[in-house]
Chains A and B, each alone.
Chain A
């Protein structure tokens, strides 16, 4: 059984079809990338899986449980962690406090009136920050961080919920090439070691072809191709529709290697 299965998802906005008959599955420990040109419906699908948007048709099933109508905050408790296209953190708090908040919520203590929040789950939070390489910044205000680091903090927040599934909407948007490669490495590593399924959308083809186990290609709300990166890369229809005939993801290794050099 797949960790996440999305069945025949459909959504239209006032006659404009944003998604139609979208069906795919994410396995534990695997990364599935959703790609497609602007306006293909990536964000729509993403928000239906995340719970921010209700689908017109179809089902979203997480580990056998139908979560189509479950609000985002309950999905989180079922093991869905999420990062956003524009990073969403608590900017008035420190890096560690951001992760502590997620842990406080996980432990259902958000209504606690007395204990000092700054001291709760501090060690667990620092351990999570250690994993994303941000432990040294634990006590810095989140508002001071470089954007790439904010994305790492967001990842640590998502991990705090011990997710089964991680949803990452354009995880590397707005980052420098080197940071992108590092963040994708990190994500892939964490996904494998904790057997977390990752669903992500991405415009950066290096990130997609370098790290995704599977790719689905969306055009005008419909899946036009799905499969292993190599299959998708060689799919004639994908080349034609999506990139006007040029070969996509041709230099994933070379550019990634370039970016990784100091």
Chain B
């Protein structure tokens, strides 16, 4: 039993990390509340805050090495990030408030990629530790333990920022508008508020807070180019647990999560990464809108859902394209070289995973942010069966949809009880739990390094033979899934997406149908993961990571979520671009990010959606000309 003073110290540690979590999450929650944009770039703001601080503060120290100068540097860094937030609002977000939510998310992720590369270019790949704060470099004696003074300062910063935000929200016109917009955005619009200014101001505040959080971290945590992704997951957890849009909620959640992290590491050292996500899952299951959040103010309006709208049979153009594509795929090993075959194998695996994701999102309206969990479960299932238990490839592959399906059934049981952004966040939480297990259960999964030696059976060992296996299996799985979209099961999911109330009123058990769909999609993704593992010969936790889940999202959004086959095109496009540019340039992330942003701005309906718009326009123009001729 640890002594009391030690427990106190851990509590203080927890409070310090709670402060920093709160400052960052407060910005995220305010931006979400007003703009309803899930801003992935918030992590980038945090990272930029840290880099600005480590650059700026040493220069300022030339003037005077004192605490006020240090603090001024922190504020300047945060201010700079705030201005970048303004820039992002003016240049990008302003143009996309009307595009579907998922595209907004995609655009902010484009920003993440671009910023990551710019940071690498400007500051290089090495960690940069910031100078310590003058006057707070010592340790304070507390009950016989030494505790860093800077941590005490951090503990004070959280409540201070909360208090300032409270004043801002209650005593200024801007703050009142922010709160009003968070509660009812349409009403604020109807009241004639200058929304453009409100949104710009909100982005400034949000980015400023993220930058502040980043800058304040620099004396204890070196600025590094990966801190954006690691913080964004935690910031999401805090925001969701507290209730999206609620600043006091974020504070409460940060306090709880800070303590959970401080004591979790003592009690469950093996599962520290899982703890916060378990908490989030638990909170969402018990309180579907977070601790202090409230349900979205419904207006009872009927809006066209995002996703598949009408199902049309293939026209001649599509038939020829599909037929041609199928022919090329069948002949590929003869016409292409070995490298191309390898790339196409990967594309086929991703295509199946992306298709299964769009089965959920485009057809069912169930936005999963964590589809990589099931891809990864399949990959790990196959990999571990082969390497640890010596199971041959064939039964291992057959087992992958079962393993991933079971995982999806377990997680899905809770997921389908929620809707909208909370559903998405719960899928993210489950994906992170899966990731953490793969990462931390080193004895079985090989931890960070994963497992190598996941090879196909001897008869399937040649790349060409394995290519045909992948082609056959993924095509068959895609066709089965596609079939269901046109069958009553798919229609039922789509109907429930359009109107849950109507579905319920005609006797449909919406939850059970969604659960089955989630399980099936997970099983299909697992199969894709299994195929991928044998293609690569190894497994590692990146297959389950957040970037992997986002890759799948990008694939379906780029292809077009309102089309049935768009995800396949998206997978091919995305993976070939990545594969083509990655070796050519150090800036593939920047290019990819800019490409994603361009796609959102130019083709907000994805490639296939864009193709269909053009087709519709051409046929309309043709009809008009025909009409004119007939009239003349």
By a beta-carbon cutoff of 8 Å, the part of chain A in contact with chain B is 50, 71-74, 76-77, 81-82, 84-94, 97, 101-102, 104-106, 109-118, 120, 141, 143, 157-158, 160-161
> Which of chain B's residues have a CB closer than 8 A to the CB of A97?
491
> Which of chain B's residues have a CB closer than 8 A to the CB of A104?
488, 491-492
By a beta-carbon cutoff of 8 Å, the part of chain B in contact with chain A is 300-302, 304-305, 307-311, 480, 483-484, 486-492, 494-495, 497-499, 501-509, 513, 516
Complex Cα distance, B301 from A91, in Å, reads 12
Complex Cα distance, B504 from A81, in Å, reads 11
Complex Cα distance, B509 from A141, in Å, reads 24
> Which of chain A's residues have a CB closer than 8 A to the CB of B490?
117
Given A72-B505, A84-B502, A93-B491, 13 other A-B residues pairs in contact with their CB atoms under 8 A? A90-B495, A90-B503, A91-B498, A91-B499, A92-B305, A101-B491, A102-B506, A104-B488, A111-B492, A114-B484, A141-B310, A158-B505, A160-B506
> Which of chain A's residues have a CB closer than 8 A to the CB of B513?
110-111
> Which of chain B's residues have a CB closer than 8 A to the CB of A94?
310
Q: Flag if A91 contacts B488 (CB, 8 Å).
A: no
Q: Flag if A73 contacts B507 (CB, 8 Å).
A: yes
Residue of A nearest to B497 (CB): A92
> Which of chain A's residues have a CB closer than 8 A to the CB of B489?
110-113
9 closest Cβ contacts across the A-B interface?
A: A88-B502, A76-B507, A117-B491, A90-B498, A110-B492, A112-B488, A90-B495, A102-B506, A88-B499
Q: Flag if B491 contacts A115 (CB, 8 Å).
A: no
Q: Select the residue from A88, A89, A110 with max chain B CB neighbours within 10 A.
A: A110
Q: Flag if B502 contacts A92 (CB, 8 Å).
A: no
Residue of B nearest to A142 (CB): B498
Q: Flag if B487 contacts A76 (CB, 8 Å).
A: no
> Which of chain A's residues have a CB closer than 8 A to the CB of B505?
50, 72-73, 76, 81-82, 84, 88, 158
Q: Flag if A111 contacts B308 (CB, 8 Å).
A: no
> Which of chain B's residues have a CB closer than 8 A to the CB of A160?
506
Residue of A nearest to B500 (CB): A88
Q: Flag if A93 contacts B488 (CB, 8 Å).
A: no
Q: Flag if B308 contacts A92 (CB, 8 Å).
A: yes
20 A–B contact pairs at CB < 8 A?
Answer: A73-B506, A73-B507, A87-B302, A88-B499, A88-B501, A90-B502, A92-B304, A92-B310, A92-B494, A93-B491, A94-B310, A101-B495, A101-B506, A105-B506, A110-B513, A115-B488, A117-B487, A117-B491, A118-B311, A157-B502
> Which of chain B's residues have a CB closer than 8 A to the CB of A81?
505
Complex Cα distance, B509 from A117, in Å, reads 18
Q: Flag if B494 contacts A90 (CB, 8 Å).
A: yes
B324 to chain A, nearest CB (A): 25
Complex Cα distance, B484 from A115, in Å, reads 8
> Which of chain B's residues have a CB closer than 8 A to the CB of A116?
486-487
Partner of A91, one of B305, B507, B508, B516: B305
Q: Flag if A143 contacts B499 (CB, 8 Å).
A: no
Complex Cα distance, B503 from A76, in Å, reads 11
> Which of chain A's residues have a CB closer than 8 A to the CB of B309?
92, 141, 143
- Given A104-B488, A115-B488, A118-B311, does the pair A86, B494 have CB atoms closer than 8 Å? no
Complex Cα distance, B507 from A50, in Å, reads 12
> Which of chain B's residues have a CB closer than 8 A to the CB of A73?
504-509
Partner of B487, one of A77, A112, A158: A112
Residue of B nearest to A71 (CB): B504
Complex Cα distance, B576 from A142, in Å, reads 39
Residue of B nearest to A91 (CB): B498
> Which of chain B's residues have a CB closer than 8 A to the CB of A86?
300-302
Q: Flag if B498 contacts A92 (CB, 8 Å).
A: yes
> Which of chain A's residues have a CB closer than 8 A to the CB of B516?
111
Complex Cα distance, B503 from A92, in Å, reads 13
- Given A84-B501, A90-B494, A141-B310, does the pair A110, B508 have CB atoms closer than 8 Å? yes
Complex Cα distance, B226 from A42, in Å, reads 57
Q: Select the residue from B480, B488, B499, B502 with max chain A CB neighbours within 10 A.
A: B488
> Which of chain B's residues have a CB closer than 8 A to the CB of A71?
504
Complex Cα distance, B516 from A220, in Å, reads 44
Complex Cα distance, B492 from A104, in Å, reads 9
Q: Flag if B507 contacts A106 (CB, 8 Å).
A: yes
Residue of A nearest to B513 (CB): A110
Complex Cα distance, B494 from A72, in Å, reads 19
> Which of chain A's residues have a CB closer than 8 A to the CB of B483?
113-114
Residue of A nearest to B300 (CB): A86
Complex Cα distance, B488 from A157, in Å, reads 16
A61 to chain B, nearest CB (A): 20
- Given A112-B487, A114-B487, A118-B311, does the pair A77, B507 have CB atoms closer than 8 Å? yes
A37 to chain B, nearest CB (A): 20
A200 to chain B, nearest CB (A): 15
Partner of B492, one of A50, A72, A101: A101
Complex Cα distance, B506 from A125, in Å, reads 14
Complex Cα distance, B243 from A262, in Å, reads 54
Complex Cα distance, B489 from A160, in Å, reads 19
A73 to chain B, nearest CB (A): 5
Complex Cα distance, B494 from A118, in Å, reads 13
Residue of B nearest to A103 (CB): B506
Complex Cα distance, B485 from A118, in Å, reads 11
Q: Flag if B488 contacts A120 (CB, 8 Å).
A: yes
Q: Flag if A113 contacts B506 (CB, 8 Å).
A: no
B386 to chain A, nearest CB (A): 31
B439 to chain A, nearest CB (A): 36
Complex Cα distance, B505 from A59, in Å, reads 20
Residue of A nearest to B510 (CB): A73
> Which of chain A's residues have a CB closer than 8 A to the CB of B304?
91-92, 143
Q: Flag if B506 contacts A157 (CB, 8 Å).
A: yes
> Which of chain A's residues have a CB closer than 8 A to the CB of B300?
85-86
